[in-house]
Amino acid sequence: MTLSEYFSAALLFAGAFFFLAGTLGLLRFPDVYTRLHAVTKADNVGLGLMVAGLTVQAETWTAAGKLLLIWLLVLLTGSTVAHLISRGALRRGIQLWKL
Partner 1 sequence: MEAITQLQYAFDAPLGLGLLWLAWRTLACQDLFEAVVSFAAFGLLMSLAWVRLDAPDVALAEVAVGVGLTGALLLAALAKLRSSKMNEDAAGQLGKEGSEVGRPQWLPLVVLLSVAAGLGHAVWSLPLYSAGLSPEVALHLETSGVSNPVTAVLLNFRAYDTLLEMVVLLLALLGVWTLGGTARRPEAAPGPVLDTLVRLLVPVLILVAAYLLWVGAHAPGGAFQAGALLGAMGVLMLLAGWRLRTSLMALPLRLTVVAGPGAFVAMAVITLFIEGRLLEYPPQHAGTLILILETVAALSIGATLAALFLGSRPQDLENR
Partner 2 sequence: MQTLYFALALFLLLNLGAGMWRVLRGPTASDRMLAVQLLGTTAVAVLLLLSQAKGHAAMRDVALVVALLAAVTAVAFVRRAWPDQEAEIDSE
Q: Which residues bind partner 2 (CB under 8 A)?
A: 1, 5, 9, 12-13, 15-16, 19-20, 22-23, 26-27, 32, 35-36, 39, 42-43, 46-47, 50-51, 54, 57, 63, 66-67, 69-70, 73-74, 77-78, 80-82, 84-85, 88-89, 91-94
Residue 52 and residue 68 in contact, taking contact as beta carbons nearer than 8 Å: no
Residue 47: other Cβ atoms inside 10 A: 19
Determine if 4 is a binding residue for partner 1 (CB under 8 A): no
Shortest gap between Cβ of 32 and partner 2 (angstroms)? 5
Cα separation, 46 vs 38, whole angstroms? 11
Cα separation, 28 vs 54, whole angstroms? 30
Determine if 76 is a binding residue for partner 1 (CB under 8 A): yes
Shortest gap between Cβ of 25 and partner 1 (angstroms)? 19
Instruction: Name the residue nearer to partner 1 (CB basis): 62 or 98.
Output: 62
Query: Which amino acid appears at position 90 of this protein?
Result: L
Dihedral pair phi/psi, residue 60, rounded to 5°:
-130, 170
